[in-house]
Chains A and B, each alone.
Chain A
Amino acid sequence: LAKTTQPISMDSYEGQEVNITCSHNNIATNDYITWYQQFPSQGPRFIIQGYKTKVTNEVASLFIPADRKSSTLSLPRVSLSDTAVYYCLVGVPIYNQGGKLIFGQGTELSVKP
């Protein structure tokens, strides 16, 4: 499983766009990039997953450059409720490895009023 590196923490203000970048220099050809969100005392929640270029859903966008050695999670117009820890994971599609996930340190996002 590819090792990931994320900033330990980030601060933002309500209404701003937040971009969290994850480095994964050793990503393999078959690896996907997945982001999870975790609130205190809760299990992680799936945010978005992608393989290349750009993926967008109702919650966030994921930008992946051509070399796939990094990825950026973009949260548009954050609110106080977006304060959480965000994890970047890299690995083969879940159904090929049964769902085993290895979490890195994550990025603690603090949104201020």
Chain B
Amino acid sequence: GAVVSQHPSWVICKSGTSVKIECRSLDFQATTMFWYRQFPKQSLMLMATSNEGSKATYEQGVEKDKFLINHASLTLSTLTVTSAHPEDSSFYICSARGPTKSSGNTIYFGEGSWLTVV
């Protein structure tokens, strides 16, 4: 079946540096992907919609200059946390809609990426 993969699974970075997380659709093309953030013991919070070939659409309260999203191809979206701070430490998850309308009711999620900023 359709698979969405994230890389890295976990990353530790120093405060003030930037870190990139990749989200790939492995066997299908995804014109739209979504990025979520999840703090421990909390629900997923939608951050932005990543659109292939165009600018991402950010949810209210999410800083677009801090969380840079690039969707340069039909199988890859990247989330770059710029000038990371400890409060950015979180579990980041991406998702993509299934490849065809017949399976389009299914959203596939990546494995998630743990970011720890020290």
Interface residues of A (CB under 8 A from B): 32, 34, 38, 41-46, 49, 87, 93-95, 98-106
Contacts and interface: CB of A to CB of B under 8 A. Distances in A.
A43 B110 contact: yes
A32 B107 CA distance: 14
Given A41-B114, A93-B104, A95-B104, A102 B109 contact: no
A98 B97 contact: yes
B56 interface: no
B95 A101 contact: yes
Contact of A95 (B36, B101, B112, B114): B101
A88 B34 CA distance: 18
Given A94-B104, A98-B32, A100-B34, 8 more contacts: A42-B112, A43-B110, A46-B107, A93-B105, A95-B105, A98-B97, A100-B49, A103-B43
A66 B55 CA distance: 42
B19 interface: no
Interface residues of B, number: 28
Contacts, number: 66
Contact of A87 (B43, B46, B97): B43
Contacts of B93: 43-44
Nearest to A87: B43
Nearest to A102: B46
Given A87-B43, A100-B34, A43 B97 contact: no
Interface of B: 4, 6, 32, 34, 36, 43-46, 49, 91, 93-98, 101, 104-112, 114
Contacts of B46: 100-103
Given A99-B34, A99-B97, A46 B106 contact: yes
B74 to A, nearest CB: 14
A109 B88 CA distance: 28
A46 B1 CA distance: 13
Nearest to B100: A95
